[in-house]
Amino acid sequence: MSTIKKKKLRIKKKNFIILLFILFLFIFLTTKTVKMISHTIKNHKENKVVEKQKPQKRIEEKKVEEKTTIEDNKPSYYKEEYKERYEKYQNNHPELSEEQIIKNVNMQLDKTHYEDPIPAQYLNTEKVLVNKYYYLGSDYVPDNLETISVQYALSDMKLVHEAKEAFETLAKSAKRQNLNIVAMSTYRSYKYQVNLWNKYAKQDGEEKADTYSGRAGHSEHQTGLAVDVYNEKETYTNFEKTKEFDWMQEHAHEYGFILRFPKDKVAETGYQYESWHYRYVGIDAATYIKENNISFEEYYATVIENEKNS
Ligand SMILES: [Zn+2]
């Protein structure tokens, strides 16, 4: 071989090695780039998935927060022993605020009328609550029943002493304005109520009778603190249309009386609107109930029962 030929061969060998190196470098860089691109795409996709999950996660966190607040921000009238009932009621009424849930369960509204009734507390006081959840025994007769003066009542109308005094003062004040407020049904015994409800049930059916008449033991009239009134001209069911009613709307609380079954509280009281039925609760309670536009049931559940705890 000539030296020139040898040289040429060496150069060719050198070029080949360089070419091989470039080729190798190219392959290396290409795979690296492809890997990087695919990785970025993958990451981007995953990010999207994470983003999609995020709001849901936030909602879940919020739900947990909401669930804990019924415990955390509990009002003073929250009852530990009603915990399970609050939760059950909340599940059935997710639209209600926690405060309303606690109030409603405290008012026993999670129960059916007359199901599992509770013996009435605070007997012989103006705090006593008698309704379709709280009852008086068949032998309960209030202390200190007294007959209202016939100037302001039909004959033989009895109320508990404080209520009787307050009612006479009220009727006397109304009379000064030429208004005639007359008691036409007051204390009624358990036995009387048995016959009354049976009569109504026979007449209108049990379901209808329950909307306006208490079953025996569940009538507020047995407390001697409730009075039905009329003006001696209109029948008592038309009391709403009289001047006497307007006066009662404005002044009854000043004497310790409340309109017991208002139009907008039917769900709480369990009774249809009765413009003629008033209940003695004392001046402070009557004023509080009127100013806050609440039922006696709500007052009992949030104020009277709460006094026990404080
Ligand atoms: Zn009545």
pLDDT of residue 186: 98
280 in the same domain as 163: yes
Distances (CA, A) of 81 to 58, 196, 227: 32, 37, 35
- Per-residue pLDDT band at 251 (split at 50, 70, 90): very high
180 in the same domain as 158: yes
Distance (Å) from CA 303 to ligand 1 centroid: 24
Looking at per-residue pLDDT, the higher value among 22 and 157 belongs to 157
Distance (Å) from CA 221 to ligand 1 centroid: 6
Distance (Å) from CA 186 to ligand 1 centroid: 7
Give me 204's structure tokens: 């209108």
Q: Determine contact, residues 254/204, Cβ cutoff 8 Å.
A: no
- Give residue 48's Cα distance to chain centre: 43
**Residue 127 DSSP class:** T
217 in the same domain as 293: yes
220 in the same domain as 178: yes
Alpha-helix runs per DSSP H in the chain: 3-72, 83-92, 98-106, 161-176, 190-204, 206-212, 243-251, 266-269, 283-292, 296-299, 305-309
Q: How many CB atoms lie within 10 A of CB 130?
A: 22
User: What is the extent of the structural domain holding 102?
Assistant: 75-106
Distance (Å) from CA 214 to ligand 1 centroid: 9
Q: For the chain, what is the domain count? A: 3
Long-range contacts of 247-250 (CB under 8 A, 24+ apart): 247/174, 247/177, 247/179, 247/181, 248/181, 248/278
Distance (Å) from CA 226 to ligand 1 centroid: 6
88 in the same domain as 53: no
Looking at per-residue pLDDT, the higher value among 61 and 179 belongs to 179
Question: How far does the chain reach from its first CA to its final CA, in angstroms?
Answer: 118
Distance (Å) from CA 84 to ligand 1 centroid: 35
Q: Tokens 């104020």 — which residue?
A: 303
pTM to 2 decimals?
A: 0.76
Task: State which residues have CB under 5 angstroms from ligand 1, the bound ion.
Answer: 228, 277
Mind listing the pLDDT tens digit for each residue in 180-212? 999 999 999 999 999 999 999 999 999 999 988
Distance (Å) from CA 229 to ligand 1 centroid: 8
Distance (Å) from CA 127 to ligand 1 centroid: 17
90 in the same domain as 21: no
137 in the same domain as 273: yes
185 in the same domain as 271: yes
140 in the same domain as 56: no
Distance (Å) from CA 228 to ligand 1 centroid: 5
Distance (Å) from CA 187 to ligand 1 centroid: 9
The mean pLDDT value of the chain amounts to 87
Q: Is 259's pLDDT higher than 50?
A: yes
Distance (Å) from CA 162 to ligand 1 centroid: 18
Distance (Å) from CA 292 to ligand 1 centroid: 23
194 in the same domain as 67: no
Q: How many CB atoms lie within 10 A of CB 153?
A: 24
Q: How confident is the model over 95-102, as a mean pLDDT?
A: 96
Distance (Å) from CA 31 to ligand 1 centroid: 92
Distance (Å) from CA 182 to ligand 1 centroid: 13
CATH number at residue 140: 3.30.1380.10
Q: Determine contact, residues 295/288, Cβ cutoff 8 Å.
A: no
Asked which of 85, 106, 127 is the last residue of a domain, the reply is 106
Asked which of 21, 49, 73 is the last residue of a domain, the reply is 73
Dist CA 135 CA 259 (whole Å):
20
**Residue 225 DSSP class:** -
Flag the least confident range among 160-164, 204-208, 274-278.
204-208
Distances (CA, A) of 208 to 9, 232, 268: 118, 27, 17
Mind listing the pLDDT tens digit for each residue in 103-138? 999 999 999 999 999 999 999 999 999 999 999 999
Distance (Å) from CA 170 to ligand 1 centroid: 18
Distance (Å) from CA 185 to ligand 1 centroid: 7
Lay out the sheet containing 226-230: strands in order across: 182-185, 226-230, 274-280, 257-261
125 in the same domain as 98: no
242 in the same domain as 162: yes
Q: How confident is the model over 15-43, as a mean pLDDT?
A: 65
pLDDT of residue 267: 95
Provide CB contacts within 8 A for 172, sequence distance 6+. Answer: 152
- Per-residue pLDDT band at 23 (split at 50, 70, 90): confident
